[in-house]
Amino acid sequence: MTVDNELYNRMSETWWDEKGFLNNLLAYNPVRFGYFRKVLFDKLKIEPNGGRALDIGCGGGILAEEFARVGYKVTGIDPSEPSLEEARKHAKEVGLDIEYKVGIGEDIPFDNENFDMVYTCDVLEHVTNLEKVIRETARVLKSDGIYMYDTFNRTFLSKLIMIKLLQEWSWTSFMPGNVHDWDMFIKPRELLELLGRYGFKNQEQVGIKPGVNPLKIIQTLRKRKRGEISYFEVVQRMKFRESGDKSMAYTGYALKKFSGEN
């Protein structure tokens, strides 16, 4: 099986459609953006003040808009032109000034040391060449710049939940087949190793897990199956939250440092 990245072209109109499939990611924002806010404002005491942020794999701009609202000058890149069209349209509707450009993480269309902050959210498990993406991220980030990410771990649990339950088993699945390929999921230590290789000092990794029990998860998926709730509501009802357990998904951040620096 390979991951179906074409679906971001086919389903681009669903990013901001509250009944649409890709809109489910909007319900994931509280946990992931909640974590990033804490990192930026509580831990690192950053004041964005128009500093430049690059969203690699921005899709319809669901997360780009959050970073623009807290004061970053955000640029989003993505291979899916139809998704970028939706992102541009929505940013205009809500009055946000965000630049969207076609591009892939393996070959970022910007000069060296251009951005104060770069992030990849729910993207690393979709790319063709993970190592190139990390190398390119390091290249376009300024020294001392911040890199933030979230992705899925490659474990028995993530196979059970993300692949079997959400994607393959017809009585519970709510995702189209091949949204994810379990073989492309990334173990936390594999990412740490790559980050270290390209001059990053990782600062933290934190697990993300559903905040409800397995029975509630199944009930929620069955409600979606019967068309009683939207895709957004499915993810919202999972109540994702930070956890010490990284066995399903995790988030984290790293700083770009030259070796020898702390």
Ligand X SMILES: C[S@@+](CC[C@H](N)C(=O)[O-])C[C@H]1O[C@@H](n2cnc3c(N)ncnc32)[C@H](O)[C@@H]1O
Kindly state the smallest distance separating residue 151's Cβ from ligand X, in Å. Answer: 10
The site that binds ligand X (CB under 6 A) totals a number of residues, namely 22
- 4: contact with ligand X by CB under 6 A: no
Binding mask 68-107 for ligand X (x = CB under 6 A): ----------xxx--x--------------------xxx-
Kindly state the smallest distance separating residue 175's Cβ from ligand X, in Å. Answer: 10
Task: Report the residue from 65, 66, 116, 122 that binds ligand X according to the rule CB under 6 A.
Answer: 122
- Identity of the residue, 126 or 154, whose beta carbon is nearer to ligand X in the bound complex: 126
- Identity of the residue, 88 or 222, whose beta carbon is nearer to ligand X in the bound complex: 88
Give the DSSP per-residue string, the chain. Answer: ----TTHHHHTGGGSS-TTSSGGGGGGGHHHHHHHHHIIIIIIS----TT-EEEEET-TTTTTHHHHHHTT-EEEEEES-HHHHHHHHHHHHHHT---EEEE-BTTB-SS-TT-EEEEEEES-GGG-S-HHHHHHHHHHHEEEEEEEEEEEE--SHHHIIIIIIIIII-TTT--SPTTS--GGG---HHHHHHHHHHTTEEEEEEEEEE-SS-HHHHHHHHHHHHTTSS-HHHHHHHHT-EEES--SSEEEEEEEE--TT--
Task: Report the residue from 56, 117, 124, 217 that binds ligand X according to the rule CB under 6 A.
Answer: 56
Kindly state the smallest distance separating residue 259's Cβ from ligand X, in Å. Answer: 27
- Identity of the residue, 79 or 145, whose beta carbon is nearer to ligand X in the bound complex: 79
- Identity of the residue, 90 or 126, whose beta carbon is nearer to ligand X in the bound complex: 126
Distant-in-sequence, close-in-space partners of 245: CB < 8 Å, separation ≥ 6: 207, 209
- Identity of the residue, 37 or 262, whose beta carbon is nearer to ligand X in the bound complex: 37
Kindly state the smallest distance separating residue 226's Cβ from ligand X, in Å. Answer: 25
Kindly state the smallest distance separating residue 15's Cβ from ligand X, in Å. Answer: 8
Task: Report the residue from 39, 40, 53, 62 that binds ligand X according to the rule CB under 6 A.
Answer: 62
Q: Which two tokens stand for residue 105?
A: 């993480």
- 5: contact with ligand X by CB under 6 A: yes
Which residues bind to ligand X, rule: CB under 6 A?
5, 8, 25, 56-59, 62-63, 78-80, 83, 104-106, 121-123, 126-128
